[in-house]
Structure formats: C-alpha cells, structure tokens
Structure 1
Amino acid sequence: MILAGVLVVIGFGFVAARGLNSGPEEAPPAPALGDVRPPTLPSDQGLIPLLSPTPKPSPSTTPATSAPPPSRDVLRVAQGPVPEKVDLSEDGESDWVHWGLEGTFSLERDKGGKFRILEGAPTAPRFRHSLSPQAFTWTGGDPVATAAGTKTGIRTCGEGNGFTLTAPAGTTPRILKIYLGVVSGRGKLTARLTTGDSTGSTVLDNPGGTLRTAVVTVAYQAPRSGQVRLTWNTDSAYGKGCGGVALEAATLS
C-alpha cells in the first residue's frame, strides 16, 4: 500500500511538471494563397456593380467656318421713294458721289472712298439742274468738304442718252444706291455683273415736265472679283422739250 501511494504521488508530480514546462498551443499554419476561398454569397444576392465616373464631354476642336462664297452671281434691283433729306456720308459706308454742285461737270465724292464708284465717259451733252425735290448733305467730301442740303444734279435729253456707272464686285455682299430722276420721258436702269449672266432692271416713267425722282437699290454679290455695271438711259422722250433722265447721287455700302 505504501508503495502504491508513492507511485501515485510521483506520477502526479511528473504530469504537473510537464504542464508547467510546455508553452502555449501553436496556431495552425495559414493556408497557402492559392487555397483562399471567397465567402459564398447567398443564391438570391447578385453582385453590386461599381459605378464608374461619367466622362465629361471634350470640347469641340472643329474650327468655326464662315458661309462659303456664292458659286454664281447674286443680283437684285429694287426701286423706292427718296427721303426728304439724304445724308450721303451716312448712307455710303464704302463710297459716295454727288453730281452737279458747282457746275455741269463737277463731281463731289467721299474723300476716303478710293474711287470705288466711277462714271463712264459721257456719250451725250449734259446739263446741270437744281430741280430735285430732295436735299443731299455730306461731310468728309472732296473737293467740297461739306454740304448742308443741295438739290442739284445733272441731266441729259433725248432718247438713247444717259449715264453709265461701275462699282467693284466680289464675294462680299454690297449695296449700291442710285438717286436718279426723269423729266418728260421714260428711263430704264439696267444692272449686270461682269462675273456672269445675272442682270436686273427697273423703269421710271414721267410724262410731266417736273422732275420725278426715285432711289434704285442694287444688292449684289459675285463668286470672284469683278464689277457691277449700270446704265441709266432714256427709253422714250415725250414732247418737244428736253425730255430725259437725270442723276443726283450714288452710295456704296
């Protein structure tokens, strides 16, 4: 009995000693990277999409383009009444001219107009007149710098007689205005562009012996550099007096 008790005590001491000498239990080794498994999602739960930022529209790099020039002539002729007073300096941004202020062959024009409006060589006798019911004013003129309101102009007599004018034409739209009249006759104005076959015309008829006036507006544009050419002739002369056409002024813008 004594021997059995001693063996029990020794055995208990041996177990206790092992418990004191042993360290904490080691953690199991981590699985290799290839052995990692994602958690299983429930079958009724779909993937949540990630929202990508909406790209901002890039600014257009296409350069702005102007309207292309016309491929053919553009020409329109219209007739209307003359205002009571016409300021040629304001009306003619590019050039202006006035006839007959100081004499039969006097010509007053825009000093900075660069001679854009030109009259052709006279083909018939002309006369100065002061019959216009409207007054013409200007500033910046040459050789006469200013005019407060003149009613002068030039005229010619007889069927077939008249005046010719030219102005530059090109891809820039332009407006040429002609202030004209007729006494005891019928006048016809014809406009054409040298860059094509486009023409336009208008007629002013006056059987009376006083000056009837009008302003003829010629709006035009050409596909290339050229000219607009105008003729203002007496179609018919009435009576035995000096029936025919008259010319006061012209403007270009």
Structure 2
Amino acid sequence: MLEALAAFVCLAALVAYLGSERHDTPREENAVLPVAPTGRPVLPPPGGSQPSAVTPGLNPRQRPPSPSPSPSRPAVPPTLTVSQSDVPARVDLSAVGTVDWVQWGHLGARTPVRKRHGSGDIRDEGGRGERQSYDNNPEEYAWRDGTPTAAVSGTLSGVYTCDRGSGFTLAVAANGQLRTVHLYAGLWMARGRLDLRISGGGPASTLRMEDPHTARTADFTIRFRAAPGAKLLLSWTVEESLGDCGNVSLQAVALR
C-alpha cells in the first residue's frame, strides 16, 4: 500500500514538471551578406565579423596608379666666346659690373677694391711673379658701391708683373646661365697671352696681344655658360718680354 502511494506521488510530480516547461521560439536569421562586384556574396571571415565596405571601382588592397615621373631636362653644354676692343676713356664699374666687380692698384699691390654686396663670383687665384702697383694707366676707373673704398670718381691705377711666364690667374663662378665678363688688362713692351677655359673639360680659347714699344690696353669681353659648380678660368701672362721688364697689367674685372 505504501509503495503504491509513493509511486503515485512521483507520477504526479512528473506531470506537473512537464506541463510547466516552455520552449523559446526559434530566432530567424535576417542578416544579408554583402555582394561583391562579381555578383557573388562576400562570406564573413573566420570569427564571425562582417567584412569591411568595398570601395566602388577598386578591388580590395588596390591603389591608384602612381603618376609617371617627369622626364629630366638634358644638360646644357658649356659655351665660351671672347672678343677684344678698346677700353673707354672712363669705365664705370658700378654700371658694368651689376653682379660683381674687382679693381686692382688703387690701394696698392695687395689690397683690391670689390663691389659692396657683390656676388663674390670673381676670384683672384694669384699667379706667377711679383706684383707692383702703378698710377699712370691710359684710362680711368670709377665706382660708387665699393669696399673698402666706397666711391672713386676716377683712378688711373692698376697692377703689373714683369718677365716671361709671369702673370695673373683669375676665376669666375658659373651659375648655369649666360654670363658676361669684362677683363680690363694691358701690357708694356711685351706679348701677352690670354688663356680661357671652362673647368671640368669645357671649351677653351686663347688670345694674344703685343706691343714691343709702349703700353697697350684692351677690354676682353667674355661670354660663357656652364653648370653651377664650374668656373671660367682666366690666365693673363707674359708670353714674351720685348724689353726691360716687359710686363702684363691688370686693372679690373666686371661681371654682369
């Protein structure tokens, strides 16, 4: 009797439990997969995260093409021309040397006068022989923007050096543009030789001037072009002395 009662109680408890159990309604998946430009759906990567948006017209990781490099300009070959003419009775260095100028002799053999705030492109490279100053040049030189002498209305000064092989060596820096150099030089009872060349294997030229009896001067006008870093090299020397202390002289150089 007791066993039958226990079985009935267990059966009643089981029925009550089954009647109270609820099942959740299955959840519908409404997520829509993105579609690639090919028409196929894009599957999510491992881990379940959604793929990033695709930029229209570009595949993933595709970059716009880089622009083509501009063609480099060919290097301009160096040029060099020289002409010779008489020196005017008065040379205004401030007007002729708008970029730079140098005058020798006014302050003695060792101290030239330069253009104040000039480019510094004219360089005195020395030369062979002892320099002497003088003040009886056939032409006069004037300036109004010099240093250490600010202004001079007219000086007949210059420097000279005697005997064969002696002379002056100068240089003018190039900047890639056409430049004009005026070399004011002379001689006395000598044959002078002017050698010009562009550094680095550029063109070269040679001129000669001679007077066996007295003094002579000239304006050597040089036009040249070379790449920045190159130089116009000038050498004015006594090729042959034709008298006692036959010499070459140097008055000024102007650059424009």
Fold-level similarity (TM above 0.5): yes
Indicate yes or no: 2:223 matched with 1:213: no
Give the SS at the match of 1:228. strand
**1:93-117 CA deviation, whole Å, 9 max, x = no partner?**
1100000102121200101113211
Identity %: 33
Does the 8 Å CA contact 2:132/2:159 hold for their aligned counterparts? Answer: yes
Post-superposition offset of 1:247: 0.2
Across the aligned residues of Structure 1 and Structure 2, the Cα RMSD in angstroms comes to 1.4
The amino acid that maps onto 2:245 is C
**1:73-110 CA deviation, whole Å, 9 max, x = no partner?**
10001111001100000000110000010212120010
TM-score, normalised with respect to structure 2: 0.69
Does the 8 Å CA contact 1:70/1:221 hold for their aligned counterparts? Answer: no
Counterparts of 1:179 and 1:130, CA distance in 2: 15
Q: Which residue of 2 aligns with 1:252?
A: 255
TM-score, normalised with respect to structure 1: 0.70
Counterparts of 1:70 and 1:179, CA distance in 2: 32
Give the SS at the match of 1:89. helix
Does the 8 Å CA contact 1:195/1:223 hold for their aligned counterparts? Answer: no
Counterparts of 2:196 and 2:82, CA distance in 1: 8
Does the 8 Å CA contact 1:183/1:244 hold for their aligned counterparts? Answer: yes
**Moved beyond 4 Å, runs of 4+:** none
The alignment of Structure 1 onto Structure 2 pairs a total of residues equal to 184
Q: Superposition pairs for residues 118-197 of structure 1, below 5 Å?
A: 118-197=123-202
Give the SS at the match of 2:128. coil
Gaps (5+ residues) in structure 2? Answer: 1-72
Judged with a 3 Å threshold, the aligned counterparts in structure 2 of structure 1 residues 96 and 74 are, in CA distance, closer, same or farther, namely same
Larger Rg: 1
Give the SS at the match of 1:235. strand
Does the 8 Å CA contact 2:128/2:165 hold for their aligned counterparts? Answer: no
Q: Which of the numbers 245, 253, 256 marks the counterpart of 1:242? A: 245
Q: Which residue of 2 aligns with 1:200?
A: 205
**1:111-170 CA deviation, whole Å, 9 max, x = no partner?**
111321111134311111122111100011000000110010000000000000001113
Q: Which residue of 2 aligns with 1:95?
A: 100
Counterparts of 2:74 and 2:178, CA distance in 1: 10
Indicate yes or no: 2:90 matched with 1:85: yes
Counterparts of 1:181 and 1:191, CA distance in 2: 16
Post-superposition offset of 1:70: 5.7
**1:168-202 CA deviation, whole Å, 9 max, x = no partner?**
11321101110000000000111111143300121
The amino acid that maps onto 1:85 is R
